[in-house]
Each structure stands twice: as C-alpha cells, then as structure tokens.
Structure 1
Amino acid sequence: MTATIEYIPETGSTNADLLARLAGGELVPEGHWLVTDRQTAGRGRQGRSWIDAPGNFMGSTVVRLHERDPSAATLSFLAALAVYETVVPRVAAPQSIMLKWPNDVLMAGSKFCGLLLEMGHGAVIVGIGVNLAAAPEIAGRRTDALKGLSRNAFAEALAAQFALELQRWREFGAEPIMRRWQAAAHKPGTPLTVHGSDGDAISGLFDGLDATGALRLRLPDGTAQVIHAGDVMLEEG
C-alpha cells in the first residue's frame, strides 16, 4: 500500500470530509490521507472539540475493513503506536514520550496528540491531531507541542509508519500491537483515576489491558475492574 497525502488549506473536519466522500460513493483508497492547514470544526473523543493552530498536524486517513482483519477497536492502539514511533526518533528526549489509555500520546506527562476513530461505510476513519508548533490551553489538562518539526515532513513520516503498522496488524494480528502499546505506556502498578461519562471517578492501579483493549484497574480492595471507556488521569507523585 502506497500512502498518498492530499493537502488542503481549510476545512471543518478532515474526518467528516472523508466520511462524506465515502457516503457519496467515492472510492477513497486505503492509504489516502487528507491533511489541512486549518480545521474549524475539529472533533475529539466524547464530543469534545479539537483546537487547531498554524503549523500543527491535522489529518485523517481511511482503513478499509476486510473480513479477516483483527477487531476494528484495536486500530486505536495501532494509531497511537504509529504516532509514537514517528515522534520518538525526532525529539531530543525520546524517553519522555509515553502512551496513555485509551489513545493519548504524552510528552513528559503533557498531551500533544489526539485521536478520533469513526466507523462508516465499511471503513474506519482515523483522525489524528498533533501539536507540532503550538499547544492550545485546555482546562484541567497539561498540553505541550513538539516544536521544531515540519508539518509536511511529519505527515509523510506518519503516513509511512501508519501503513507499516497496518501491514503488521493484518499479518500478525492485534496481539503484538497490544504488547508494544503496553511497553510504551504507563507501567503496571501506576496509580490512575478514571473519569466516566457520567461524572463518576474510580481510582486504582494500572493492571494492563484485556484481550479487547479494555483497561484493567486493580482497586484498593484487591479486586480488578475492567473499564471500556473513560478519561484516564495519571496520579502525580
């Protein structure tokens, strides 16, 4: 699969654009990326907006699902790994880059990347935003920007890495992807607090992932709880 990148000056949402193309019957090939200079209606997980800035990366690509593909849900981990592998050799402190469940990428504990996967018309649209030049302020969250990386060069490197990870995902299954994700993420025993969409919070120790990619949390009473959705905050200290 050869990656191709289509650059546009402005749009509402690259995810929405690709979904609309598929809905209209356009045969957008796998490996095609839509990258924009400005995004006026970018979206994040759980309906949040994704704030852009000049020089940042904002783009989406299409994964066409095949009958024998691993679970589409594991593409979230694949996408985070693709960003991780693209960033690590390009920053001065690679040890500061870490993955956080379910699909955040952090630098020294600060978020610089957001991912949003949406399914439709037999495909998954993978949207990725990376703070390359500037980090928007988000209430209650630490954010940062990588800085010093060219947007177009980063786009080319990410597209190539994503294609490689997708090939591995299809050839070897999701299990190696999940193992690599866990090796690059917060370590077992890390104190976490998970905030659910209902506003409730639960705290415990990270106990890895289950086969579906759900978070296992070891509670203070020694029992384990499996969490399928929520916002994870790493405890300080």
Structure 2
Amino acid sequence: MAVGDRLSVHPDAGGGRGERRFGAVLIPPIERTQQTGSTNADLLARLARGEHVGEGHWLIADRQTAGRGRLGRPWGDGQGNFMGSTVVQLAAGDPSPATLALVVGVALAKVVKAFAPSVPLQLKWPNDLLVDGAKCSGILLERSGDAVVIGIGVNLVSAPDLPDRPTFTFASRGVAIDRDRFAKALAVALVEALRTWRREGVTRIVDAWLPLGHPVGTPLHVSEQGVDGTFDGLAPDGALRLRREGGEVMLIHAGDIELRRPLQEGN
C-alpha cells in the first residue's frame, strides 16, 4: 500500500466531540491554543520539564508570535494558516532521525494534494514544500533526548515576506482550506508515514519522496558548502546526491539548498 493511500478528506470525517475517526483511521490528539510564541518551543519546554508528551500529540496555534524556520529564520504568525508541532518518540531499531524530514514531507505533500489537487506542488530537499518555486510550507525538526519535535507551517491564507525567497499562499489561487480539517488529515497521514518508515525503512520513504521532489538534473546550490551541481536523486539513506560539473557525485546529508533555473541557450 502506498504511503497515505488510506487518507480520506470527506467533510463529515472526524466530526463532533467523541468522534475520533478520520475516514477509517483514528485521529491522534490535537490540542489547540489561541496564541503562543512557538508551538515547537512549547513542546520542547514540556519535554525539558520531564512531562510526558505522547507520540502523535499535536499542538496547533491560531497565532504564533515567535515562529521560526531552519537556521533561525523568523516565520510570521499568519492567523488562519496551519501552525503546529508534534512529537516522535524514538525507539531502538528506528531509522535515522535525520530522515524524519523526508517522512514529514511525504505526508504533508499528500495531504496538500488532497485539499488542493489543481495546485502544482514540489518537495524541496530536505524540508520545504514549493508551488512554482515559491515556498508554501516549511518543516523544522528539533531533538530533545529520545524525542523529536516536528514543527510544520503551511501558508493557507497568508505568507511572510522573506528577503531571500518568494512565498505562496493557497488563498492566492482561490483555494480555501479549513485549518482544522487540514490538521486532522495531516495528523492521520503522519501516523501512516511513520508506520511505513518503521516497518519498511527509509528506502520506502525515499521511493515515495522522489516523484514529489525536484526532477533529476535540477541545478542546485548548497549554501553551507558553497558548491553547485545538479540533483541526481537521493541515496538509499535519504542523502541528496549532487552531481558536480566533472561528473562526480557528492552526498549531502544536511544543508540548505537553492533551486536554480537552467541556463537558456544563448544566455
């Protein structure tokens, strides 16, 4: 069964209080708060205090005043957007925690496609979701002991102005996505993707990620290493394969990459 095949977004799924099913799958617990600094920071603080935060527990906020992305980049609060965090409790025998970004990306892309089938989506390694090259969602993983806190932001209705990259909102395409229905679908999809990750391994997740990602041959720049090349797929462990000009392949296990447009003939 493909990752996320059981996802259902029927409007009656997961209805009122006490109805905990979304399609045929139990919905993980979703805690809501009107305003907070950062849902990731809140869950990390609970873990640091020794509180038990069960795997699959979600904290989502109507507003975030101190949201952030990778490398400490600020991320606007955007009321009406999806802003939430959840926890994965690592166990012996789990694949590398670093590959969780791919797991989340696969689950997120499949949910967004279900709600916005006409919008062309593309995953950018390791943790962004793009529409026509503009960022519409980001993923932030932060570890605390044997737990990984996963933060996800999706620009459903508004987007921050970023100095270094364009951004996209689904509302700009006339696509209205209800935040709470989206949250339920994402919670279920992530449970299923994590089950695949644990039972079938990273290779299965890589196979699901590749058709959703940037095509082989896409020009890339890796900021941390300051190197250029083209996308040559993913290694079985989820690392990015960067093909250099001379033909050699460099494995990138972590980093911030930029997608670059191919040079046009005559330019």
Query: So what's the TM-score if we normalise by structure 2?
Result: 0.83
Q: Superposition pairs for residues 63-102 of structure 1, below 5 Å?
A: 63-94=88-119, 96-102=120-126
Please list every run of 5 or more consecutive structure 1 residues that lacks an aligned counterpart in the other structure: none
Identity of aligned residues (%): 49
What CA distance in whole angstroms lies between the structure 2 residues aligned with 1:22 and 1:146?
A: 34
Structure index of larger Rg: 2
What CA distance in whole angstroms lies between the structure 1 residues aligned with 2:34 and 2:186?
A: 19
Letter in 1 for 2:43: L
Matched residue SS, 2:143: strand
Matched residue SS, 1:143: coil
Higher strand share: 1
Pick from 39, 45, 63 the counterpart of residue 20 of structure 1.
Answer: 45
Which has the larger displacement, 203-212 or 116-125?
A: 203-212
1:49 Cα deviation after fit: 1.5
Runs of 4+ with >3 A deviation: none
Q: How many residues align?
A: 233
Matched residue SS, 1:29: coil
**1:170 maps onto 2:221 in alignment:** no
What CA distance in whole angstroms lies between the structure 2 residues aligned with 1:92 and 1:208?
A: 25
Query: So what's the TM-score if we normalise by structure 1?
Result: 0.94
Q: Superposition pairs for residues 1-237 of structure 1, below 5 Å?
A: 2-94=27-119, 96-147=120-171, 148-196=176-224, 201-237=226-262
1:158 Cα deviation after fit: 0.6
Corresponding residue of 2:20: none
Please list every run of 5 or more consecutive structure 2 residues that lacks an aligned counterpart in the other structure: 1-25, 263-267
Matched residue SS, 1:117: strand
Matched residue SS, 1:138: coil
Q: How well do the aligned residues superpose, as a CA RMSD in angstroms?
A: 1.4
1:63-108 CA-partner distances (Å, limit 9, x unpaired): 11110111111111001111101001211424x1011111111112
